[in-house]
Amino acid sequence: MAASLRLLGAASGLRYWSRRLRPAAGSFAAVCSRSVASKTPVGFIGLGNMGNPMAKNLMKHGYPLIIYDVFPDACKEFQDAGEQVVSSPADVAEKADRIITMLPTSINAIEAYSGANGILKKVKKGSLLIDSSTIDPAVSKELAKEVEKMGAVFMDAPVSGGVGAARSGNLTFMVGGVEDEFAAAQELLGCMGSNVVYCGAVGTGQDLGLAQDSATSTKSPILLGSLAHQIYRMMCAKGYSKKDFSSVFQFLREEETF
């Protein structure tokens, strides 16, 4: 709840996809030693300046990865750490039934899902596909329809927090999709972020993420931001700080002054 109201009250995130950067070299393989006996592989597509640390945090939580990036060099340190690197998004879908994509633009997302060697070419029924790219909500909705036709589940989960939060595992994920699937998505997203917020149907996560991103890049205040912050402080004072976002509506019904 606190994270959701902060998102409504202030634009505090960084522009997280300005350009792709090659991650600094280091003793990555040593850091990621882990037991993987009880966890099935997770597909991860897109190892740019955000995707790279997000994938590493999944590894730190014990998930073996099936990796793909359009730039092979981006995969090298993961391969050196023992992760499986494949040659296309379709190959990821063939080997993993839970896939996270983190891509820079709508065009990249469309290609990764619907292209000649895209995820949908080999996706398995029942697979969970989570797109954390910040893209056009209309594209997210169209991808969700295509995925549903294949018998799989699509959720959009754009992020707030920037590269620093990605490295520390403190991202905020704004999730849109079928509510019954939220818990399954949260299991993975919680390895990469400290706040995982369910926003509603597919596209609502993108709507909120784009609103915050635009406000940040233009240094524009979000409408009613000060009121949202005031409500947040009042709710914390009345013991609502540990409750989820739905408690906002309960609080407002109880407060005649609003």
Query: What is the DSSP-derived secondary structure letter of residue 22?
Result: P
According to the model, what pLDDT value does residue 39 have? 83
pLDDT band at 137 (very low <50, low <70, confident <90, very high): confident
* Per-residue pLDDT, 21: 39
Least Cα distance to 23 among 53, 59, 65, 60 occurs for 53
- Residue with the two structure tokens 């299991």: 187
pLDDT tens digit sequence for 138-183: 899 999 999 999 999 999 999 988 899 999 999 989 899 999 999 9
Q: Give the CA distances from residue 194 to residues 30, 73, 161, 169, 187, in Å, rounded to whole numbers and listed in that order.
A: 24, 29, 10, 7, 12
Give me the pLDDT at residue 214, please.
Answer: 46
Q: What pLDDT is stored for residue 200 in this prediction?
A: 86
The residue ranges of every structural domain in the chain are: 16-218, 225-254
Percent with pLDDT over 90 in the chain: 56
Distances in Å between the Cα of 174 and the Cα atoms of 18, 88, 245 are 20, 27, 12
User: Across the chain, what does the average pLDDT equal?
Assistant: 79
Averaged pLDDT, 215-233: 54
Name the token pair of 142.
Answer: 């169209």
Reported as a pLDDT band with limits 50, 70 and 90, residue 120 is very high
Greater confidence (230 vs 13) lies with 230
CA 55/CA 160 separation, integer angstroms: 16
pLDDT at residue 218, rounded to an integer: 47
Asked if pLDDT for residue 211 goes beyond 70, the answer is: no
- Tens digit of each residue's pLDDT (9 = 90 or more) over 75-107: 999 999 999 999 999 999 999 999 999 999 999
Q: Comparing 19 with 156, which gets the higher pLDDT?
A: 156
> In this model, does residue 121 exceed pLDDT 60?
yes
Identify the pLDDT of residue 204. Answer: 75
CATH class of the domain whose range is 16-218: alpha beta
Q: What is the pTM of this model?
A: 0.70
Alpha helix positions (H), 122-181: 137-149, 162-168
Long-range contacts: 140-144, Cβ < 8 Å, 24+? 140/176, 140/202, 140/203, 140/205, 140/206, 141/202, 141/203, 143/109, 143/110, 143/113, 143/114, 144/177, 144/202, 144/203
**The pLDDT value given to residue 178:** 92
Higher pLDDT, 256 or 5: 256
